[in-house]
Amino acid sequence: MTEPSSIGAWLLALDWVIRLAALAWIPSRTTPAAARSWLLLVFFVPLAGLPLYLLLGHPWLSRERLRRQAEASLLIREEQKLLGELRWAPEGDGAESEMVPLIERLGDFMPTHGNAVTLLDDYDASLRALLEDIATAHDRVHLLYYLMFADQVGDLVCEALLQAAARGVECRLMLDAVGAKPGMRAYAGRLRAGGVQVQELLPGGLRWRRSGRIDLRNHRKLAVIDNRAGYVGSQNLADAGAFVRGYPNRELVARVEGPAVSHLEAVFASDWYLETGERLDVIATTPVRDANVAAQLLPSGPAYPFSNARDVVCALIHLAQKKLVLTTPYFVPDDGTLSALRIAALSGVDTQLILSRSNNQRLTAWAQESYYGELLASGVKIAHYRPHFLHAKHLSVDDSMALVGSMNLDIRSFALNAEIGMLCYGADVVTRMRQVEAEYLADSDVLTLAEWNRRPAWKRSREGIARLADSFI
């Protein structure tokens, strides 16, 4: 029988082996901020901290997924070489000329001219437009969404896909395996029986090791119909009131026609290939007559070698000279993004952050509050939008660039999720986005530093704890 003292000695030795191994291993595999948090946990509770780190500490994907993404990126770049007449080139050496090569090197896609872009900020109108496009489809319908619920919106989309498939339209639906689990359970069998190809993304459970870290998700929201119309933005396939009781979602979606549609199709095809190994044909779309919007897609996620979303957002913030407006439901920036915002405001840029007063992620809401004091002190304006849960995700820079898509300004979107954004160049889209932003601000409460500094000490403690929890990502 083993002596109790011997068991204690072995446990003590194991504790220190775990601590020393973590000290050598963790900093080389994660960001400095996250490494500090994980090391603190491991040093206090080694036997619990190490398994948690192995499960959630490093945002890894399977080698096969990384290989397939690299293969898809190479194919996208090679195919675009044959479509030089669609490339848009910025004039002069302004901010646009710096963004174009950065996005192309990070996310593979060149900017194209001749796009028509309509910003839809009405939830029901955006859904109606999508359903009408599906109803008139004659070739193919491709939908890729993070969430799909078993509700009225889910019913409408399911019925539209079944009717399209019955007409002979090639229909594919990709849904995140975790976010869209209710929709998969409710509709997948019926859709497949009706001829719609349904594919779950990043499946969990016993299959997660073939995908990647269990909390890596595909957060994209896009649709392509007949190679003639595409949708990209923040809106999921769910009822507007499904997220925060009493505060229906407000979203922003861009409906696109022109060459950018085939680029959205290429993103869909890449994700389809990552999941199935099947290659889909992507046909180049021609410019729309009398349309003059230049657009460039930015896919991002852990399958790419760099933090595409974070790097582009930081570059846009640094390039702003007069006015910068950022809208997001979740604001938990990393050090680089926080520093960029502070520098922009201190440099004299009119820097406005629009957030939702209501929120469906309580811990995230508390964490984002921990940044308000520093931002307000540096001159960043912070507004809380009241009437709805503001789930829209977009950014505008001066009168020259506007970014719309699925990306939040938080560490999860920057490091863990597959996201999609579209950067539009020129005043046309920026002007329309400014109108939307003005509507937000008209129904918002503006924070002041003096008011914020009067909050009770217990709230400050809550913010700090929530911020620490978020730093494990």
Task: Domain ranges for the chain, please list them.
Answer: 4-56, 63-296, 308-470
Provide the CATH number for the domain formed by 308-470 in this structure.
3.30.870.10
Give per-residue pLDDT as tens, 128-166: 999 999 999 999 999 999 999 999 999 999 999 999 999
Give per-residue pLDDT as tens, 397-454: 999 999 999 999 998 899 889 999 999 999 999 999 999 999 999 999 999 999 999 9
Question: Strand runs (DSSP E) across 95-185, as ranges?
Answer: 112-120, 140-145, 170-176
Average pLDDT over residues 330-346: 96
Lowest mean pLDDT among 109-113, 116-120, 219-223, 364-368: 364-368
Q: What percent of the chain has pLDDT over 70?
A: 93
What confidence score (pLDDT) does residue 112 get? 98
Average pLDDT over residues 54-60: 70
What confidence score (pLDDT) does residue 211 get? 66
What confidence score (pLDDT) does residue 37 get? 73
pLDDT category at 213 given cuts 50, 70, 90 is confident
Q: Please, what's the b/e burial string for 420-447 (b: 16 or more CB within 10 A of its CB; e: otherwise)?
A: bbbbbbbebbbebbbebbeebeeebeeb
Query: Taking 90 as the threshold, does the pLDDT of residue 32 lie above it?
Result: no
Query: Which residue is associated with the tokens 């997924």?
Result: 65
Give per-residue pLDDT as tens, 268-282: 999 999 999 999 999
pLDDT category at 47 given cuts 50, 70, 90 is confident
What is the residue type of 466? A
> Is the pLDDT higher at 450 or at 10?
450
What confidence score (pLDDT) does residue 466 get? 85
What average pLDDT does the structure give for the chain?
Answer: 92
If you write DSSP's letter for every residue of 365-395 in order, what string do you get? Answer: HHHHHTTHHHHHHHT-EEEEE-SSEE---EE
What confidence score (pLDDT) does residue 467 get? 83
Q: Quote helix, strand, coil % in the chain, to nearest 5.
A: 50, 20, 30
What confidence score (pLDDT) does residue 426 get? 94
Query: Taking 70 as the threshold, does the pLDDT of residue 353 lie above it?
Result: yes
Query: Taking 60 as the threshold, does the pLDDT of residue 2 lie above it?
Result: no
Nearby residues of 57 by Cβ (< 8 Å), 6 or more positions away: 26, 29, 30, 34, 38, 472
Tokens, residue 397 = 């820079």
> Is the pLDDT higher at 86 or at 205?
86
Lowest mean pLDDT among 247-251, 283-287, 339-343: 283-287
CATH fold, domain 63-296, is Endonuclease; Chain A (3.30.870)
Give per-residue pLDDT as tens, 307-330: 999 999 999 999 999 999 999 999
Lowest mean pLDDT among 29-43, 193-207, 414-428: 29-43
Nearby residues of 385 by Cβ (< 8 Å), 6 or more positions away: 250, 354, 355, 356, 357, 440, 443, 444
Query: Taking 70 as the threshold, does the pLDDT of residue 344 lie above it?
Result: yes
Local structure of residue 87 (DSSP, 8 states): B
- Ramachandran angles phi, psi of 237, nearest 5°: -95, 75
Spell out the alpha helix ranges (H) of 287-410: 308-319, 335-346, 362-369, 372-378
Query: Taking 70 as the threshold, does the pLDDT of residue 471 lie above it?
Result: no
Asked, colleague to colleague, whether 63-296 and 308-470 share their fold, the answer is yes
Average pLDDT over residues 332-361: 96
Query: Taking 90 as the threshold, does the pLDDT of residue 87 lie above it?
Result: yes
What confidence score (pLDDT) does residue 93 get? 87
Average pLDDT over residues 43-64: 75
Average pLDDT over residues 76-101: 94
What confidence score (pLDDT) does residue 209 get? 53
> Is the pLDDT higher at 471 or at 248?
248
What confidence score (pLDDT) does residue 3 get? 60
Nearby residues of 212 by Cβ (< 8 Å), 6 or more positions away: 59, 60, 61, 62, 65, 202, 302
